[in-house]
C-alpha cells in the first residue's frame, strides 16, 4: 500500500499543476499544501520519531527565511543558494538550542522550546540593523534564470510549485530514510523509554541533537521558500508561536512517525483552512484545534495511521 | 529614585494579576499533572466577558465579576468532565497537545465571532490616575490589585482550612494515597479545574480595563504564566504568587533599567535558567 500511495502521490505532483495552472487559487493551495507538508514532515522527524514535542520550530523557519532574504538583499546571493544556506543557518541555530533544551524532558522540553522561540522572535523584532525590525524585508524582483533556453517566469506560480514539490519530496525521502536507518530505531527507543534507551548504550542526547538538526534543516528550507514565494518577511509572519503550533498539528493529525502522515495532515488541514480563509478572513484555525482534539481522542495514530490500521484489519 | 519607586509600584500591581493567573494554572497542574495551554484563553474569555457586559449592559467590569466567576467555574467543570477527562489516561504529552488544540479552538472561535480588532474598555474613573506621594497609580489597576488580593486570599484560606481544600492539597501531593484515604479524586479534579478556570476568568475581568483586548491575547498570557509557575515551582500556590509578583517587577524594572524592547525577553531568559538549574522553582517547593 505504501508503494501505491507513493506512486500516486508522485503522479499527482507532476500532473496536477498543468491541469490547474489556470486557476490561481488552486495552484496557490497546492503550493501551501506542499509547504506545510515540508514543515509537518520536518517537525515529525523530531516530534513523531523521538517523541520530543517542540513548540518552537518557527525559529528554524524564521531563521531560514531571514537568511535567504538577507543574503539576497545585502550580498546579492541568488535566493536558491540562499535557501540552502538558510537551511544550514537553521542547523547552526539548532545546535545550541538542542544542547540546552534536551537537558529537559517531556512537557518541560516543550515549554523550553516555546521560551527559546519567543526569545528569538523578540531578538528578530529588535535587531533592526540586521532584520529591519517590525517593518520586515521586502524583495521586488527575482534574478533572471534560463532553463534550457527558456526564461523562467517568476510572476507565474508554476515554478514555485515545482520548487516546493521537490523540497517536500526531499523531506519525505529523509523521513523514509529515518524509518530504515539505525538513527530512526534509536529515536523510537527514546520515544518509548528514554532511560531504557540510554541504559542499552544509545547516546540519546547525540541522537536527539542530530535529529533536531535534520528537522531544522528542512524547516529552514521551508522558511527560505516562504521568503522567495511571498518576497516579504517580518517577525510576526515567520516567527509566531502559531506557526510552530501549526506544524505540530499537521504532523499529529496526519499521523506521527509516518512518511505519508504529514502529506495527509497538510492536505486535510490546509485545504479546509485556506478555503475557510478565502471566505471568512479570520478564524481559519478553528478546524485545526477541533481536529487536533478529535484525533487525540479517537485516532491517536492520526488519520494516516488509523487508515493504515483499518486497511490491515480488512486484509 | 522616583522612577524606581514608580516602577516597583506598577510592577507589584501588574504582578498581583499575573499571580492570580499563575495560581489557577499551578493548582490544575498540581492535582492533574496537566499543563493547560488553554489557560490564557480562559483569561481572554474573562476579558471579553467584562468587555461585553460593559459595552452592552453598561455594567462596570469590576461588578460583572460576580457574574463571570461562577460562569467560568461551571465552564471549567464542564470542560474537565466532557473534554479533558477522557484524555488524561493517554499521558502528559497527549494532554499537552490536546490543550494546545483546545487553546487554538477557543482563540479562533473568538476571532471568528469578535474579529481581531483591538478593543479597550473606557471607564470614567480610568482617565486620571491617583497620585499618592507623586506616584501615578491608575485607579482601575488599583481596584484590580485590591480585588486580586482578596480573591487570592480567599482561595488560600479555602485550600488551607476547608475539607475540599485539604482534599485538593492531598491529591496534589499524592493522588494514589489520597484515593486510598477515601478522596474521590475524579470529583476533586473536576472541582480543581473549575477553580482554575474561575481564577483565570476573574483575572481576565480584572485585567480587562488595563489592557488591550483581542482574541489571541491568551497566547501572550499563557507564555507569561508558564514563566510564573516555573519560577515559583510547578504545583506550588505560594510559589506562583511570589513568581507572579517577581515577573511583574522584572518586567517593569527591566523596561526602565535595561530596555523596553527586551523586557519580555528577560522573563523568558530567567525562565530557561530556572528550568535548567532549579527545576523545582526558585524556592525549591515545586515538583520536578
Q: Which of B50, B7, B71 is nearest to B210 (CA)?
A: B50
Average pLDDT of the residues in B112-125: 84
Of A106, A284, A286, the CB nearest to B93: A106
**Which residues of chain B neighbour A190 with C-beta distances below 8 Å?**
none
Average pLDDT of the residues in B118-128: 80
Displacement of CA A140 from its chain's centroid (Å): 25
First to last CA, chain B: 39
Task: Provide the domain count of chain A.
Answer: 1
Can you give the length of chain B in residues? 288
Q: Which of B208, B200, B185, B278 is nearest to B52 (CA)?
A: B208
Q: Report the mean per-residue pLDDT for chain A.
A: 87
Question: pLDDT by residue (tens digit) across A167-191?
Answer: 999 999 999 999 999 999 999 999 9
Q: Is A163 helix (H, G, I), strand (E, B) or coil?
A: helix
Confidence of residue A43 (pLDDT cuts 50, 70, 90): very high
**Which residues of chain B neighbour A116 with C-beta distances below 8 Å?**
268, 272
Centre a 10 Å sphere on the Cβ of residue B186 and count the other Cβ atoms it contains: 13
Check CB contact of B154 with chain A, cutoff 8 Å: no
Check CB contact of A293 with chain B, cutoff 8 Å: yes
- Which of A5-9, A74-78, A89-93, B161-165 has the highest average model confidence (pLDDT)? A89-93
Q: What is the pLDDT of residue B287?
A: 53
Q: What is the pLDDT of residue A91?
A: 96
Q: How far is B80 from chain A (nearest CA, A)?
A: 13
Question: pLDDT by residue (tens digit) across B60-103?
Answer: 888 899 999 999 999 999 999 999 888 888 888 888 899 999 99
Q: How many CB pairs under 8 A join A and B?
A: 126
Does the distance separating the beta carbons of A293 and B105 come in below 8 Å? yes
Of B94, B108, B275, the CB nearest to A108: B275
For residue A281, being part of any structural domain is answered with no
For residue A94, being part of any structural domain is answered with yes
For residue A111, being part of any structural domain is answered with yes
For residue A271, being part of any structural domain is answered with no
Question: pLDDT by residue (tens digit) across A112-134?
Answer: 999 999 999 999 998 888 888 88
For residue A259, being part of any structural domain is answered with no
- Strand segments, DSSP code E, in A156-263 are 232-233
Q: What is the pLDDT of residue A310?
A: 86
ipTM of this predicted structure? 0.85
Among A38-47, A149-158, A163-172, B52-61, the least confident range: A149-158
DSSP character string of B221-270: HHHHHHHHHHHH-TT-HHHHHHHHHHHHHHHHHHHHHT-STTHHHHHHHH
CA distance A230 to B223: 29
Check CB contact of B260 with chain A, cutoff 8 Å: no
- Residue extents of the structural domains in chain B: 15-216
Q: Would you give the DSSP letter of residue A157? A: S
Q: What is the pLDDT of residue B286?
A: 55
Q: Would you give the DSSP letter of residue A102? A: T
Confidence of residue B288 (pLDDT cuts 50, 70, 90): very low
Question: pLDDT by residue (tens digit) across B191-237?
Answer: 999 999 999 999 999 998 888 888 888 888 888 888 888 888 888 88
Q: Which helix (H) or strand (E) holds A146?
A: strand A146-147
Question: pLDDT by residue (tens digit) across A7-17?
Answer: 666 666 666 76
Longest CA span, chain A: 61
Cα–Cα distance list, B188 to A8, B80, B175, B239 (Å): 52, 11, 10, 22
Does the distance separating the beta carbons of A249 and B101 come in below 8 Å? yes
Evaluated on CA atoms B269, B274, B279, B283, the torsion sign reads negative
Q: State which residues form the domain around A100.
A: 2-241
Amino acid at each position: 500500500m505504501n508503494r501505491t500511495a507513493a506512486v500516486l502521490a508522485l503522479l499527482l505532483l507532476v500532473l496536477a499543476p498543468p491541469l490547474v495552472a489556470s486557476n490561481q487559487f488552486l495552484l496557490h493551495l497546492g503550493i501551501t499544501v506542499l509547504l506545510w507538508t515540508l514543515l509537518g514532515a520536518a517537525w515529525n522527524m523530531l516530534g513523531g520519531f523521538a517523541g520530543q514535542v517542540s513548540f518552537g520550530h518557527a525559529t528554524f523557519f524564521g531563521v531560514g527565511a531571514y537568511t535567504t532574504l538577507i543574503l539576497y538583499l545585502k550580498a546579492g546571493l541568488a535566493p536558491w543558494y540562499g535557501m540552502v544556506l538558510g537551511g544550514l543557518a537553521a542547523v547552526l541555530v539548532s545546535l545550541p538550542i538542542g544542547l540546552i533544551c534536551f537537558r529537559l524532558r517531556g512537557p518541560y522540553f516543550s515549554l523550553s522550546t516555546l521560551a527559546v522561540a519567543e526569545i528569538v522572535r523578540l531578538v528578530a523584532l529588535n535587531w533592526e540593523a540586521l532584520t529591519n525590525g517590525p517593518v520586515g524585508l521586502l524583495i521586488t524582483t527575482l534574478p533572471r534564470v534560463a532553463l534550457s533556453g527558456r526564461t523562467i517566469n517568476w510572476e507565474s506560480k508554476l515554478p514555485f510549485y515545482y520548487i516546493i514539490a521537490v523540497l517536500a519530496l526531499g523531506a519525505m525521502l529523509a523521513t523514509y530514510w529515518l524509518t530504515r536507518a539505525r538513527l530512526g530505531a534509536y529515536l523510537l527507543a527514546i520515544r518509548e523509554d528514554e532511560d531504557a534507551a540510554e541504559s542499552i548504550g544509545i547516546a540519546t542526547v547525540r541522537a536527539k541533537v542530530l535529529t533536531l538538526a535534520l528537522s531544522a534543516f528542512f524547516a529552514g528550507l521551508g522558511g527560505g521558500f516562504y521568503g522567495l514565494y511571498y518576497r516579504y518577511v517580518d517577525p510576526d509572519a515567520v516567527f509566531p508561536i502559531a506557526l510552530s503550533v501549526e506544524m505540530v498539528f499537521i504532523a499529529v493529525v496526519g499521523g506521527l512517525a509516518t512518511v505519508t502522515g504529514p502529506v495527509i495532515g497538510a492536505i486535510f488541514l490546509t485545504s479546509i483552512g485556506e478555503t475557510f480563509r478565502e471566505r471568512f478572513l479570520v478564524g481559519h484555525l478553528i478546524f485545526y484545534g477541533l481536529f487536533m482534539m478529535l484525533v487525540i481522542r479517537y485516532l491517536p495514530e492520526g488519520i494516516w495511521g488509523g487508515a493504515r490500521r483499518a486497511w490491515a484489519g480488512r486484509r | 529614585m522616583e522612577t524606581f519607586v514608580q516602577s516597583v509600584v506598577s510592577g507589584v500591581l501588574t504582578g498581583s494579576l499575573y499571580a492570580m493567573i499563575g495560581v489557577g494554572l499551578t493548582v490544575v497542574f498540581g492535582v492533574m499533572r496537566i499543563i493547560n495551554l488553554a489557560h490564557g484563553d480562559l483569561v481572554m474569555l474573562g476579558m471579553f466577558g467584562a468587555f461585553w457586559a460593559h459595552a452592552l449592559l453598561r455594567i462596570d467590569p469590576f461588578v460583572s465579576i460576580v457574574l463571570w466567576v461562577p460562569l467560568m467555574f461551571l465552564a471549567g467543570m464542564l470542560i474537565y468532565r466532557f473534554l479533558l477527562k477522557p484524555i488524561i489516561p493517554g499521558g502528559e504529552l497527549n494532554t499537552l497537545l490536546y490543550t494546545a488544540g483546545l487553546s487554538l479552538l477557543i482563540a479562533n472561535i473568538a476571532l471568528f465571532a469578535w474579529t481581531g480588532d483591538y478593543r479597550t474598555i473606557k471607564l470614567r474613573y480610568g482617565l486620571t490616575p491617583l497620585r499618592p506621594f507623586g506616584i501615578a497609580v491608575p485607579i482601575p489597576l488599583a481596584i484590580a490589585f485590591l480585588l486580586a488580593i482578596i480573591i487570592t486570599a480567599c482561595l488560600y484560606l479555602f485550600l488551607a482550612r476547608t475539607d475540599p481544600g485539604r482534599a485538593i492539597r492531598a491529591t496534589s501531593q499524592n493522588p494514589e494515597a489520597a484515593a486510598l484515604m477515601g478522596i474521590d479524586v475524579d470529583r476533586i479534579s473536576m472541582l480543581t479545574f473549575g477553580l482554575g478556570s474561575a481564577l483565570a476568568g476573574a483575572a481576565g475581568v480584572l485585567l480587562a480595563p488595563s489592557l488591550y483586548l483581542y482574541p489571541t491575547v491568551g497566547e501572550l498570557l499563557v507564555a507569561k504564566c508558564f514563566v510564573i509557575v516555573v519560577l515559583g515551582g510547578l504545583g506550588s500556590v505560594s510559589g506562583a504568587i511570589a513568581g507572579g509578583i517577581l515577573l511583574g517587577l522584572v518586567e517593569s524594572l527591566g523596561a526602565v533599567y535595561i530596555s523596553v524592547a527586551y523586557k519580555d525577553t528577560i522573563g523568558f531568559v530567567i525562565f530557561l535558567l530556572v528550568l535548567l538549574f532549579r527545576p523545582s522553582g526558585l524556592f525549591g517547593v515545586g515538583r520536578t
